[in-house]
Amino acid sequence: MQAIGIDLGGTRIKAVLINDQGEIQDEIITETKEENQQWKEDVKYTVEQLSSKSTNSVVIGLSAPGIPNNENKAIEFLPDRLQGIEGFVWQTHLSRPTFVINDAIAALSAEASFGSARDCEHAVLITIGTGVGGAIMINKKIYQGAYQKAGHIGHMSVNMDGDPDICGMPGSLEEAIGNYSISKRSNGKFHDTLELLESLKNNNSEAKEIWEKSVKSLAVSIASISNILSPEKVILAGGITKAGDVLMHPLRTFMDQYEWRAGGKQLNIEIATFSDKAGAIGAAAFALSNIK
């Protein structure tokens, strides 16, 4: 059997066709168009395109920010993002079996099934893109907590005097590093993180200051997670991880400063095996596991 995984983000729609071994057989990436909720039709068109490439029956998994309902048929709660997604039943829209999952949990599912968390008992994944999400694995099981809310690492506060985020948390990690807030953080100088990083490559001092402040917030958050959950590994996924060493070098420098390394044991931090495709692959894997 094959599966199509859709990762519906605030910036892009990433879609993959995989087999039951997690191998990507085709992929499509498009822009998320919010006007008139065009993304709904774009997802449907993408599914039709990938289905035409399939050699046998296909099941659909869709990952998105927010909290899914208990039946994994729709996103039940997502404040102030992707207007029209709450309560939208994808199986009806796509006319085929479709399973909906939180995007960060999908990303961790991909890494636990096929990637860098495959050999871990305890791991945490943080997605850094338009916003910031997270997922927790304890004893090889993804922990969602009461009301499926666990893992929303983006809403951890790193500045109690900062502006409230969409959940009301002051100075959250999502506000500190999410792509959606870059214009505010730079007083309108940069419109997205890619533009910021391009200026950083050109030794722009303002870009360097903004970037290092953001990465410092990420390091403080990871150090806090390490103290609370003590995972073997923290995995970073999402579009901003494409920065590579520009992200990892200052992050490791800040971790040297903030991480409590009891007994000399140091937390392992890695970029996800599937990078910004982790959500799509994980959604497909989740769909396959539900059919089986």
Q: Is residue 240 part of a domain?
A: yes
Q: Is residue 284 part of a domain?
A: yes
On whether both 267 and 122 belong to a single domain, the answer is yes
Residue 91 or residue 291, greater confidence = 91
- Of 62, 167, 126, the closest CA to residue 269 belongs to 126
What number is the average pLDDT over the span 51-58? 88
* Alpha helix stretches (DSSP H) within the chain: 38-51, 90-94, 103-114, 173-177, 182-185, 193-201, 205-229, 245-258, 278-291
210 bridge partner residues: none
On whether both 53 and 143 belong to a single domain, the answer is no
CA atoms of 32 and 24, how far apart (whole Å): 22
Q: Is residue 214 part of a domain?
A: yes
- Of 244, 243, 245, 269, the closest CA to residue 256 belongs to 269
On whether both 91 and 152 belong to a single domain, the answer is no
On whether both 183 and 284 belong to a single domain, the answer is no
Q: pLDDT tens digit string along 2-30?
A: 999 999 998 899 999 999 888 999 999 99
CATH code for the domain in which residue 31 is found: 3.30.420.40
On whether both 80 and 186 belong to a single domain, the answer is no
On whether both 139 and 102 belong to a single domain, the answer is no
On whether both 132 and 219 belong to a single domain, the answer is yes
Distances (CA, A) of 170 to 156, 161, 203, 213: 9, 6, 31, 16
On whether both 228 and 160 belong to a single domain, the answer is yes
Domain with 263, as residue range(s), is: 118-272
Provide the number of structural domains found in the chain.
2
On whether both 228 and 182 belong to a single domain, the answer is yes
At residue 292, the pLDDT reads 63
Q: Is residue 79 part of a domain?
A: yes
Q: How confident is the model at residue 274 (pLDDT cuts 50, 70, 90)?
A: confident
Q: Is residue 256 part of a domain?
A: yes
User: What's the whole-model pTM score?
Assistant: 0.84
Q: Is residue 173 part of a domain?
A: yes
Q: Is residue 113 part of a domain?
A: no
Residue with tokens 């200051």: 209
- pLDDT of residue 114 exceeding 90, the answer is no
- pLDDT of residue 151 exceeding 80, the answer is yes
**Beta carbons of 271 and 248 less than 8 angstroms apart:** yes
Q: Is residue 251 part of a domain?
A: yes
170 bridge partner residues: 164
On whether both 266 and 222 belong to a single domain, the answer is yes
On whether both 232 and 185 belong to a single domain, the answer is yes
- Of 120, 66, 72, 135, the closest CA to residue 100 belongs to 72
- pLDDT of residue 215 exceeding 70, the answer is yes
Mean residue pLDDT across the chain = 94
